[in-house]
Amino acid sequence: MSTTSITVIVLAAGGGTRMKSKTMKVLHPIAGRSMIGHVLEAVSVLEPRRVVAVVGHQREQVGPHIQELVPDAVLAVQETQDGTGHAVRIAWDSLEESDRTGTVLVAYGDTPLLEGESLRAFAEDHVSAGRAVSILSGIVTDPFGYGRVLRDESGEVTGIVEEKDATDEQAAVCEINSGILAFDAGFLDAALPRLSNDNVKGEYYLTDTVALARQDGLDVGAFALDDVLQTEGANDRAQLASLAKEKNRRILTRWMQDGVTIIDPDTTWIDVDVRLEADVTILPGVQLLGATVVAEDAVIGPDSTLKDVEVGAGARVVRTHGELAVIGAGANVGPFSYLRPGTELGVEGKIGGFVETKNAKIGDRAKVPHLSYVGDAEIGEGTNVGAGTIFANYDGQQKHRTVIGRHARTASNNTFVAPVHVGDGAGTGAGSVIREDVPPGALAVSAGPQRNIEGWAQRKRPGTDQAQAADQARAADEAHES
């Protein structure tokens, strides 16, 4: 099928009042993408020559979002929501003559489970059957609220009747209109002005085009999609949650089919743009969000959230929160690590327990194992940073960088007061506050020499347990010596 002659109209003018949200309904995200983003992604499989989105309510939010995703999309504004037929008419009037030929596909902006391949199969069926109108239908157990697909004795489609206009007999039909329709452009052009709003809702129903085509002696038909959830819309937060859960289940199933081990699919959430290699293992309680990428043999979790993080092969990430960070191959992160934007951990490096990092380039095999804050820093390969180290990057007004060279050994409880530079192979003493640059190979000691003031506890805190313990130890030492 030549897909170059398809124009797609996406309806998204409705109010979505049941969401009770200041965010436009179709902008609510599922699996890291807006609902309408999922629809536009599915539509892109058809390689449409033009996409028109009908916007109305909250169009100042939804319009720019659509144009960001599909820069050459046409926005058609529907001031009042007078029905799907009215909406398509407004879309039609906004199109150039050259886009009003071939096939026209109408979809809704709130069906996040829609798949491009389903649209492709539907459009191919429509074109090969040479119909004026095709309905993407579904067989459901509870058709309540949907338009019903009507057929004559020979099984030929005759029309669609809306729930509110249906007789009891019609209402009992379980084949429903998903809302997605395909048209021959010439027929649609002629049919739109003929729609009336003489019905219970007083709206212009796009669905009335089916009966009009029949009246004109043109072919109409329905293409049933087995997977009816693909065309289900989310109208309130409960439906949003259940579609999100289902979308996630589908994403996880695909990754498991592609060789990813997911120990607990019920507590694992993976956004649609995440990329995983085979033999990645995901432990319970993990969220992989945004454009996160995980290479083979890496093990993530339990209980970790990674957003826009790149994880190298064989890395281990335990109980970690990370954003816009890079974790090298074979590296170890966690438990309880907080990787903020700009963190880059080298191959086989380590960021350990209760360590927070930001704008920090930590070299290959370099380690920050315990209880530290590393901000605006560069740590060379093979360097070990002692427990409880603070990179004091902020002077109260400006941020400054600390650079530590290769194979350095900095001791516990250090403070690096930026800007400061520690040379290759240098070291520091425990408890040092490093304010001056340390040359390569030097040992920097800033805490003064230790002074023991004898008998201090007994003099200053006589009669306390502390003084008594000191006395007892002294007496025991003297007995031992004599």
Q: Of 57, 86, 126, 370, which one is the catalytic site residue?
A: 370
Whole-angstrom Cα distance, residue 159 to residue 62? 32
The stretch near ligand UD1 (CB under 6 A) out of 8-16, 292-300, 420-428, 439-447 is 8-16
Q: Strand 420-422 vs strand 402-404: parallel, antiparallel, or unpaired?
A: parallel
Q: Is 127 in the site for ligand UD1 (CB under 6 A)?
A: no
- 176 vs 270 by CB, closer to ligand UD1: 176
Q: Is 42 in the site for ligand UD1 (CB under 6 A)?
A: no
Whole-angstrom Cα distance, residue 293 to residue 52? 33
Q: Strand 415-417 vs strand 390-392: parallel, antiparallel, or unpaired?
A: parallel
Among 28, 33, 59, 86, binds ligand UD1 (CB under 6 A): 86
Q: Is 112 in the site for ligand UD1 (CB under 6 A)?
A: no
Q: Is 108 in the site for ligand UD1 (CB under 6 A)?
A: yes
Query: In terms of Cα–Cα distance, which of 435, 437, 454 is closest to 446?
Result: 435
Sequence-separated (6 or more) residues with CB below 8 Å from residue 227:
115, 118
Among 76, 176, 252, 420, binds ligand UD1 (CB under 6 A): 176
- 159 vs 349 by CB, closer to ligand UD1: 159
The stretch near ligand UD1 (CB under 6 A) out of 121-129, 170-178, 452-460, 474-482 is 170-178
Residue 231 Cβ vs ligand UD1, minimum distance, rounded to whole Å: 7
Give residue 219's identity as a one-letter amino acid code.
D
Whole-angstrom Cα distance, residue 403 to residue 398? 17
The stretch near ligand UD1 (CB under 6 A) out of 103-111, 166-174, 220-228, 441-449 is 103-111
Q: Is 214 in the site for ligand UD1 (CB under 6 A)?
A: no
* DSSP label of 56: B
Whole-angstrom Cα distance, residue 149 to residue 454? 97
Tell how far CA 274 is from the center of its chain.
8
Among 58, 207, 209, 432, binds ligand UD1 (CB under 6 A): 207
Whole-angstrom Cα distance, residue 271 to residue 413? 39
Query: In terms of Cα–Cα distance, which of 271, 332, 326 is closest to 299?
Result: 332
Residue nearest to ligand UD1 (CB): 147
The residue whose two tokens read 């085509």 is: 213
User: Which tokens go with 323?
Assistant: 């954003």
The stretch near ligand UD1 (CB under 6 A) out of 172-180, 345-353, 389-397, 438-446 is 172-180
Residue 215 Cβ vs ligand UD1, minimum distance, rounded to whole Å: 18
Give residue 344's identity as a one-letter amino acid code.
E
The stretch near ligand UD1 (CB under 6 A) out of 42-50, 174-182, 213-221, 438-446 is 174-182
Q: Is 146 in the site for ligand UD1 (CB under 6 A)?
A: yes
Contacting ligand UD1 within 187-206 (CB under 6 A):
205-206
- 161 vs 438 by CB, closer to ligand UD1: 161
Which residues are paired to 223 by β-bridges?
136
Q: Is 160 in the site for ligand UD1 (CB under 6 A)?
A: yes
Q: Is 346 in the site for ligand UD1 (CB under 6 A)?
A: no
Q: Is 147 in the site for ligand UD1 (CB under 6 A)?
A: yes
Cβ atoms within 10 Å, residue 347: 18
Among 109, 312, 328, 352, binds ligand UD1 (CB under 6 A): 109
Assess whether the previous peptide bond of 112 is cis (omega < 30° from 0).
no
Contacting ligand UD1 within 289-308 (CB under 6 A):
none
Whole-angstrom Cα distance, residue 303 to residue 282? 10
Contacting ligand UD1 within 54-83 (CB under 6 A):
54, 78, 81-83
What are the φ/ψ torsions at residue 181 (nearest 5 degrees)?
A: -130, 150
Whole-angstrom Cα distance, residue 471 to residue 403? 48
Contacting ligand UD1 within 232-251 (CB under 6 A):
233
User: Which tokens go with 98?
Assistant: 């050259």
What are the φ/ψ torsions at residue 327 (nearest 5 degrees)?
A: -115, 120
Q: Is 175 in the site for ligand UD1 (CB under 6 A)?
A: no
Collapsing DSSP to helix, strand or coil, 41 comes out as helix
- 122 vs 373 by CB, closer to ligand UD1: 122
Residue 480 falls in the annotated catalytic set: no
Q: Is 14 in the site for ligand UD1 (CB under 6 A)?
A: yes
Q: Is 177 in the site for ligand UD1 (CB under 6 A)?
A: yes
Which residues of the chain form contacts with ligand UD1 (CB under 6 A)? 11-14, 54, 78, 81-84, 86-87, 108-110, 146-147, 160, 162, 176-179, 205-207, 233
- Residues with active-site annotation: 370
